[in-house]
Amino acid sequence: MSVLPIHFHPDAVLRKKCETVTEITTDILTLLDDMVETMYDEDGIGLAAPQVNVPKRLIVVDVEQREKGEPGTPIKLINPEVIMKSDNLTVLDEGCLSLPDMRVEVARPDSVTVRYMGINGATQEIHATDLLAKCLQHEIDHLNGVLIFDYLSPLKRNIVLRRYQKNMRHAGDM
Ligand code: NI
């Protein structure tokens, strides 16, 4: 397994509508393993394939890592989609590995059911609440080219993006 480089906003790959995976090849399985390793290396709770420059509908998540402080059981999801969501929205302060140092308060359903294909090719469903529900929605957003600042009003988005661009320029100086 290897750690892959993360792509940052404004890389165009992050804005693509990702392709459906039609066949589970060894390349796909290797990519999923590498995504898990990259997620742990970056101390993230989720990662989507476009963040490592692959515009395919693949995500990995492990929220136990954050809750317990050590890696739990990573979930690898192929072609995930939200098939049910609660009417009740809650706000979470979210970050993203492709947006270093940015935090955005995002209101999302607090529970969802996600259907996906597992690595064995079988269709599966997860009913998720709390942090896992938020994480799954955040990662599925990536597959549709959606980033957390898209949820902000134009005014707030400008402020957050100006600060981000400034930080990224400084990071580039070092
Ligand atoms: Ni993200």
Residue 19 known to be catalytic: no
- The domains of the chain, with CATH numbers, are 12-173 (3.90.45.10)
| pLDDT tens-digit readout, 57-89 | 999 999 987 777 777 899 999 999 999 999 999
Q: Could you count the other beta carbons within 10 Å of the beta carbon of residue 92?
A: 18
The single-letter DSSP state of residue 56 is B
Distance from the alpha carbon of residue 8 to the mean position of ligand 1, in angstroms: 10
Peptide bond into 10 cis (omega under 30): yes
Distance from the alpha carbon of residue 14 to the mean position of ligand 1, in angstroms: 9
Distance from the alpha carbon of residue 124 to the mean position of ligand 1, in angstroms: 23
How much is the pTM?
0.96
Q: How far apart (Å, rounded) are the C-alpha atoms in residues 111 and 3?
A: 31
Q: How far apart (Å, rounded) are the C-alpha atoms in residues 58 and 32?
A: 8
| pLDDT tens-digit readout, 29-63 | 999 999 999 999 999 999 999 999 999 999 999 99
Q: How far apart (Å, rounded) are the C-alpha atoms in residues 26 and 118?
A: 14
CA 39 distance to own-chain centroid = 10
Annotated catalytic residue, options 67, 70, 94, 139: 139
Distance from the alpha carbon of residue 17 to the mean position of ligand 1, in angstroms: 15
